[in-house]
Amino acid sequence: MQYAILCYHDEKVTCAWSKEQDDAVMAKLGAVMGRLERQGRLGPVARLLPTTAATTLRKDREQPLVIDGPFAETKEQLLGFYVVDCASLEEAIEIAKELAAANPGGAHEIRPVGVFFPGKVAS
Amino acid sequence: MTDAGWISSILTAARPHAVAALLRNFRDLDLAEEAFQEACLRALKTWPKNGPPRDAAAWLIMVGRNVAIDAVRRRSRLQLLPPEELISDVSDAEAAVADRIDEADYRDDILRLLFICCHPDLPVTQQIALALRIVSGLSVPQIARAFLVSEAAMEQRITRAKGRIAGANVPFEIPGAAERFERIAAVAAMVYLVFNEGYTTSVAEHGARAALCEEAIRLSRLLLRLFPTEPEIMGLAALLMLQHARAPARFDSQGRVALLEDQDRTLWNRRLIAEGLALIDKAVRHGRPGPYQVQAAIAALHARANRADETDWPQIDLLYGTLERMQPSPIVSLNRAIAVAKVRGPADALAMIEPLASKLGGYFYFHGARGAFLLQLGRAEEARVAFDRALALANTPAEAAHIRAQLDRLADGAAL
């Protein structure tokens, strides 16, 4: 079974970390990731940019609505995610709209990825 | 991270929210600050034992409020002190407070707190010092170091600034839409000043002053969270991030200024660049351009070029043209001339800046740029005169060293 491990923290706190604090945390995480990678058990890892860089597409209406800011509702749950390579936010929104047309209801939060590690899970 | 480390990160992050809410309660800056300080001391005592509360800002507001009310009572000797546990034990009440104080309340509170710091009666340096002290929570010695003045002088500057705003009428009612917009613009300008204060530096002072740039970025993120749909705030944050991303490359190993085209671009902070690019991308979708967005777009074009010769100068020229129309200023025209020199050659650039001489005659960069254009045109003697002028006007040893290098190059050329 593959598991997704989702990371939550107060970004007001993590953004207040000094570069040294941030580097120290990343180095400690890197050690754990390195071991999992050598065992062929580490899939893709992404560090997302802060929610201030987020855009949300509400797809629970006829015409999807683009809103600045992160997904803020609590009555819906995180069900999955895509990582897409785009030249601009506009392109990412277009892809999200295509996905929305295929599966309306709920929302897509569109977040730029800061650090991406593709990983590989041995089958 | 050590206990003290994680607690101080949480306290720093919660500070603007907590101080702003306490200010609304007490309508007195000193009282609000004291209450927050006292709440922090209690947090340092109880959090290591009990773990941090779920909503740190709500906890600090609650405890700070209790402490301050208690202090007022103690002064008036009307009532006995409540036991310590009562003051700090707010775990049950915390959830209720967190429900009541949502981001929207914080929004106008924090904006008010920031807006107080940009009071028009305060000279710019006092505005910046006050914002760093009250909103960011930097200590007086930290701010003094960043401004390169003594602690006593900085203490005095902040006390004087507080005295001035205490006498001024601070509006506590919820602002209307137009007024809120004006406040946002004033606060954005102040955040930009904080950044510039840190950016104008030499290598020797770089460490202490870089803290100002980091604080400005943190304030811009705060503004962005409060006003997520303002494209100019996105532009401001993007501009600061994209400029600060280049900080590690601004000086060479000898402490000399490295111009943009000479910088080692592998030293640029890629994570900040990614965030800045994402924000400017988000801003332009609104179709409501403004000066911060245009400046950020220019910085973005530099950030996107992996080598100096890949820079999209024609686009930069166009963007400076837009900025000139939005915010006519000889400094903007001077910056545009650098792009014009790349696109159409030094003769056009020189023709463009000659009329600025009366306004920029006392400005280091004017004579530096003029000298560089004249040099490119082979007018060595005039270039030397321009560089001599620049040298006399240099603000930092690094600027002077850069001009001296140009003069040396001229002298070598003359000898050939």
Of residues B321, B407, B384, B358, the one with CA closest to residue B370 = B384
**Regions of chain B short of the pLDDT cut 70:** 1-4, 76-104, 171, 201-208, 414-416
Residue A71 lies in a domain: yes
Instruction: Classify residue A2: in a domain, yes or no.
Output: no
* Closest A-chain CA to B278: A53
Write out residues in chain A with pLDDT < 50, as ranges: none
Which residue from A minimizes the CA distance to B6? Answer: A13
**Residues B301, B306, B308, B309: is their CA dihedral positive or negative?**
negative
Q: State the count of interchain CB pairs (< 8 A) between A and B.
A: 62
**Residue B1's pLDDT is what?**
47
Examine residue A70 and state whether it is found in any structural domain, yes or no: yes
**Chosen from B10, B244, B281 to mutate, greatest number of chain A CBs within 10 A:** B281
pLDDT at B415: 45
What is the interface pTM, i.e. ipTM, of the complex? Answer: 0.86
The sign of the torsion formed by the CA atoms of B229, B232, B237, B239 equals positive
All structural domains of chain B with their residue ranges: 3-101, 103-167+176-205
Q: Are strands A45-48 and A113-117 parallel, antiparallel or unpaired?
A: antiparallel
Contact list, A49 vs chain B (CB under 8 Å): 274-275, 278
pLDDT confidence of residue B85: 53
Q: Which letter does DSSP use for residue A110 in this model?
A: E
In a domain, A4, yes or no: no
pTM of the predicted model over 0.80: yes
Percent of chain B with pLDDT over 70: 88
Q: What is the CATH number of the domain that holds A97?
A: 3.30.70
Instruction: Print the domain residue range for A111.
Output: 11-121
Is residue B231 within 8 Å of residue B185, measured between CB atoms? no
What per-residue confidence (pLDDT) applies to A19? 78
Per 3-state DSSP, what percentage of chain A is helix, strand, and coil (rounded to 5)? Answer: 35, 20, 45
pLDDT value at residue A93: 96
Nearest by CB to B218, from A15, A25, A53: name it: A15
Q: Which amino acid is at B134?
A: I
Give the per-residue pLDDT at B77. 59
Domain count, chain A: 1
Residue A1 lies in a domain: no
Q: How far apart are the two ends of chain A, measured CA to CA in Å?
A: 11
| B229 contacts in chain A (CB < 8 Å) | 67-69
Tell me whether residues A68 and B218 touch, CB distance under 8 A. Answer: no
